[in-house]
Amino acid sequence: TRYKGEVPSSKEVSGQKIFYNIIDIDKLYSISAQSRLPIELDFSEYNIEPQCMSIPTGSDLYKGYLTYLPGSFLASLYEQYGFKILEQNVRAFLQFKGGINKGIKDTIIKRPNMFFAFNNGISATADNIIMNNSGSTIIKIENLQIVNGGQTTATLFHVSKEAKENLNKVLVPVKISVIIDADKSYDIVKDISKYANTQNKINEADLSANHPVFVEIEKLSRYMLTPITVDSSHQHYWFFDRISRQYENLYAQSTKNKSKKKAFELKYPKQCKFTKYELAK
Q: What is the pLDDT of residues 138-188, one digit of tens each?
A: 999 988 888 888 888 888 888 887 777 888 899 999 999 998 877 777 777
For the chain, state the CA radius of gyration.
20
Q: Give the whole-angstrom CA distance, residue 104 versus residue 112.
A: 10
| Phi, psi of 10, rounded to the nearest 5 degrees | -70, 155
1-52 pLDDT, tens digit per residue, is 677 777 777 778 877 778 777 777 766 655 554 445 678 888 888 888 899 9
Q: Give the whole-angstrom CA distance, residue 14 versus residue 254.
A: 17
User: Residue 96: its pLDDT value, please?
Assistant: 47
DSSP 8-state secondary structure symbol assigned to residue 166: G
pTM exceeding the 0.85 threshold for the entire prediction? no
Look at residue 92 and tell me whether its pLDDT is greater than 70.
no
Q: Tell me which of 227 and 101 has the higher pLDDT.
A: 227
Q: Give the whole-angstrom CA distance, residue 245 versus residue 91.
A: 6
- Do residues 236 and 268 lie in contact, with contact meaning Cβ atoms separated by under 8 Å? yes
Q: Tell me which of 121 and 244 has the higher pLDDT.
A: 121
Question: Burial of 271 by CB count in 10 Å (0-12 exposed, 13-18 middle, 19+ buried)?
Answer: exposed
- Do residues 93 and 146 lie in contact, with contact meaning Cβ atoms separated by under 8 Å? no
SS (HEC) of 58-102: CCCCEEEEEEEEEHHHHHHHHHHHHHHHHCCCCECCCCCCCHHHH
DSSP string, 178-243: EES-GGGHHHHHHHHHHHH--SS---GGGGGTT-HHHHHHHHHHTTPBPPP-SS-----B-EEE-S
